[in-house]
Amino acid sequence: MIKLILLILCLGLFPTASFSQTSKNSKQLPLVFDPLTKKYFIGASSKFVLKESGPSQIVERIEVSVDGGDYKTYNDSIEFKEEGKHTLKFRAVSSVNNWSPVQFIEVFVDMSAPSTEIKFPDTKFHKNEQQYYYVAHNSELKLVAQDNLSGVAAIEYSWDGVNFNDYTKPIKLEKLGAQSIHYRSKDRVGNLEVTKKIDFSVDGTSPTSNLKIGQNPRSIFMNDRNYFSDGAAFIIESQDDLSKVKTVWVSIDGSTATPYLKPIYFLQEGPHTLKYFSEDFVGNRETEKTMNIYTVSTPPLTSLVASGKTINTGGVNFATKKFKIQLSAKDNAVGLERLEYKFNGDADFKPYIEPIEFKTEGLHTITYRAVDRVGTYGPSKTYTVNILEKGPETTISTAQSLVERNNTTYSPAPNVITFNVGNSAVGVDKTFVSINDGPLQLYQGPITLNSDQKVYKISYKSVDKLGNEEPPKTMTFHMISATPVIDLFVTSGQSSEEQVRTNYLDQPADAAKTHTPAAENAAPAPRKPANKAVNKR
């Protein structure tokens, strides 16, 4: 029986168990048997050679059938040019026409190199928009290779691209900063992957967060606490130079940390605790920071005390120049810093130092408020006062008409005088009167001027309810009480004359008391001639 031996010749690199620097001289295997799949694998450069077994030399010829084709005479080595499964059948015949049994083999031709990927830990790496990698310090990277036919024989890596090492376990990244790793794989039949390279930085530095106070940056430190107004906005800013900041975390008053999204306000008065820290994209976390805060919500309350007499009429306060305003305020949690006010619509507030005085007459408006030690303003309040210095004006009116002659005032007797007071916004408090230089007395009502005095000197003044006094005024009355009597005389043109008795159409008051109807009808008795000389007319 003719026996044939199938030899596999490999041109070029033979598959080996390892292709590291230390395995260059290890035995190369042209044919690989995978016990898991029970399949044979060869590389792209492998060839099959047939020859007779033993030294008998009785083979007439050898025939082969490739991939189910017709048998053909074997002349040269058999080589497969396409990747995949192939079938080789062969037989031999002797010179006396004896045929050997048909032998066959199924083999997979593997022409493709493996594919290797680098695996960073899921939570410890980050690829930015520029496709650059950042990896956490002391994390481990893995190399994973896959081959669809003969299988991966080995994976290797290099830091410089020249000296490769066998990859046997995850690589711990202990070196900080920018670096590169080269890696590749080889399958069991000798196909070598083109070397790959990846650039990355090992980031072992955590971000740095800073707390800033917006809107109202003022604060005061007392009793181991920072006191702020409830209008203060707490802003957290974080910086990371490598993989960048992924999340800023905040915890308020012991709550579970949540991502920081916008400025924080503490609206409720009292103590608070703010904790915060940042995390970068490869998992580096900064040490948690804590700030104890006391929020002040209650503003200082301002009060006004008026010093001096005021009269409120029609909703308006009236006072004199002696009037002053004193300001005070009630402290809140941080205490009072200052009181301030604006005078008559001033553009800016000014500090209150001493009582506010009013130098000019007229309407004045005071706006005032308090400011605490963290800059919280109390509500502004307004006080309006009308400064009045001019006294009232008193006038005299009489029951009977007066007569002015040569700057002298004549009044019939008796006559009644009354006082009228005007030009007072706050009202009259008192009117005083003095008669003939007597003491000023409180005016109680109308005064009668009788004929028992020929002259009345009347002095008077009024005082309003604020105490503004009118300058004293004086008026002199000359009293006229007798009725004029006119006699009728007859004269001859000489020095003598004779009085003529006349009748009264309007009887004088004194005559009316004594006359009778009989007397009224009697003829008048003649009067004696006057003894006094009368100028002729």
Where do the structural domains in the chain lie, given as residue ranges? 4-110, 115-203, 208-296, 302-387, 393-480, 484-537
Q: What is the CA radius of gyration of the chain?
A: 66
Decide: 326 and 258 in contact? Cβ < 8 Å.
no
7-11, 50-54, 81-85, 269-273: range with lowest mean pLDDT = 7-11
Average pLDDT of 228-242?
Answer: 93
Residue 86 corresponds to which tokens in the numbers above?
Answer: 């192939």
**What is the chain's mean pLDDT, rounded?**
86
Same fold, 115-203 and 393-480: yes
Decide: 43 and 188 in contact? Cβ < 8 Å.
no
pLDDT given for residue 509 in this prediction: 53
Whether the bond between 414 and the residue before it is cis, its omega within 30 degrees of 0, is yes
pLDDT above 60: residue 42: yes
| C-alpha to C-alpha distance for 309 and 320, rounded to whole angstroms | 8
Query: Which one is the CATH code of 115-203: 2.60.40.10, 2.60.120.10, 3.40.50.720, 2.40.110.10?
Result: 2.60.40.10
pLDDT above 80: residue 113: yes
pLDDT given for residue 506 in this prediction: 62
Task: Count Cβ atoms within 10 A of the Cβ of residue 341 and give its class: 0-12 exposed, 13-18 middle, 19 or more buried.
Answer: buried
157-161, 329-333, 409-413: range with lowest mean pLDDT = 329-333
pLDDT given for residue 433 in this prediction: 97
Confidence band, pLDDT 50/70/90 cuts, at residue 482:
low
- The segment with the largest mean pLDDT, out of 5-19, 30-44, 258-272, is 258-272
Confidence band, pLDDT 50/70/90 cuts, at residue 6:
low
CATH code assigned to 4-110: 2.60.40
CATH code assigned to 208-296: 2.60.40.10
**Helical spans, DSSP H, in 34-104:** none
Average pLDDT of 396-411?
Answer: 93
Q: Is 308 left (phi over 0), alpha (psi -120 to 50) or beta?
A: left
DSSP string, 244-307: -EEEEEEEETTPPPEE--S-B---SSEEEEEEEEEEETTS-BPPPEEEEEEEE-SPPEEEEEEE
pLDDT above 70: residue 468: yes
Nearest to 17 by CA among 184, 161, 150, 181: 150
**pLDDT tens sequence across 430-455:** 999 999 999 999 999 999 999 889 99
pLDDT above 60: residue 77: yes
Confidence band, pLDDT 50/70/90 cuts, at residue 254:
very high
Instruction: State the pTM of this model.
Output: 0.60
pLDDT given for residue 216 in this prediction: 67
pLDDT given for residue 21 in this prediction: 29
Task: Count Cβ atoms within 10 A of the Cβ of residue 134 and give its class: 0-12 exposed, 13-18 middle, 19 or more buried.
Answer: buried
Could you tell me the CA-to-CA distances from 29 to 40, 149, 329 in Å, in that order?
12, 16, 99
Q: CB atoms < 10 A from the CB of 374, how many? A: 25
Confidence band, pLDDT 50/70/90 cuts, at residue 412:
very high
Average pLDDT of 266-275?
Answer: 93
Confidence band, pLDDT 50/70/90 cuts, at residue 278:
very high
Decide: 137 and 173 in contact? Cβ < 8 Å.
yes
Nearest to 166 by CA among 18, 26, 29, 24: 18
pLDDT given for residue 423 in this prediction: 79
Average pLDDT of 87-105?
Answer: 90
**pLDDT tens sequence across 191-227:** 999 999 999 999 999 999 999 988 767 888 888 888 9
| C-alpha to C-alpha distance for 533 and 537, rounded to whole angstroms | 12
| C-alpha to C-alpha distance for 498 and 536, rounded to whole angstroms | 13
**pLDDT tens sequence across 325-334:** 999 998 888 8
Nearest to 279 by CA among 239, 256, 247, 250: 247
What whole-number percentage of the chain has pLDDT above 70? 87
Query: Which one is the CATH code of 302-387: 2.60.40.10, 3.40.1180.10, 3.40.50.300, 3.40.605.10?
Result: 2.60.40.10
Confidence band, pLDDT 50/70/90 cuts, at residue 523:
very low
Average pLDDT of 137-157?
Answer: 94
What whole-number percentage of the chain has pLDDT above 90? 62
pLDDT given for residue 490 in this prediction: 82
CATH code assigned to 393-480: 2.60.40.10
pLDDT above 90: residue 515: no
